[in-house]
Amino acid sequence: MAISNLRELYIYELQDLYSAESQIIDALPKMVEATDDAMLKRAFEKHLEVTKEQKKRLERIFSQLNENPGNGTCEGIRGIIKEGESFIKKEKSFFREDIDKDVLNAALIGSAQRVEHYEISAYGTARTYANRLGLPEQAALLQKTLEEEVEADRELTNIAETSINAEAA
């Protein structure tokens, strides 16, 4: 799609986010499986459910706009997930087989937080465009997702600081 105005750029950003959420929905179950930490497992599981709702929220916005989610790939999230997967895929892993579980958990949190920060930034951009375009209802939906991402990021920081990083050290 050739972009020539803010509405088209807004739709492009939404499609990018839609691809991001779809990729995250595929990746989170692998992260749940990779960690042995109960708190972290629960945080990833919870975020999987939240992410499915976020994807639906985007679908609502697309239907309001009479547009479709497209089939492009968010390369930014693809790269972050790929880096994260290198921690958990044994055949590609640059970690030793006998890696300390807490160090692996610390790496998983670092990777998940990169995803959150990407999304926080992208949702902030999309929300601002929605406001600019006079679409306050959509801006509010995007803001809601943004707040959920901030909350998920905070929870991960909390888990890292209270248990995992201490144990990893």
| Cβ proximity to Fe ion, 57 vs 101, nearer residue | 57
**By the criterion CB under 5 A, which residues form the site for Fe ion?**
51, 54, 119
Shortest Cβ 148–Fe ion spacing (Å) = 7
| Cβ proximity to Fe ion, 37 vs 119, nearer residue | 119
Shortest Cβ 157–Fe ion spacing (Å) = 17
- Complete DSSP assignment for the chain: ----SHHHHHHHHHHHHHHHHHHHHHHHHHHHHH---HHHHHHHHHHHHHHHHHHHHHHHHHHHHT----S---HHHHHHHHHHHHHH-TTT-SS-TT--HHHHHHHHHHHHHHHHHHHHHHHHHHHHHHHHTT-HHHHHHHHHHHHHHHHHHHHHHHHIIIIIHHHH-
Shortest Cβ 21–Fe ion spacing (Å) = 5
Give the residue closest to Fe ion by C-beta. 54
| Cβ proximity to Fe ion, 54 vs 105, nearer residue | 54
Shortest Cβ 71–Fe ion spacing (Å) = 19
| Cβ proximity to Fe ion, 119 vs 155, nearer residue | 119
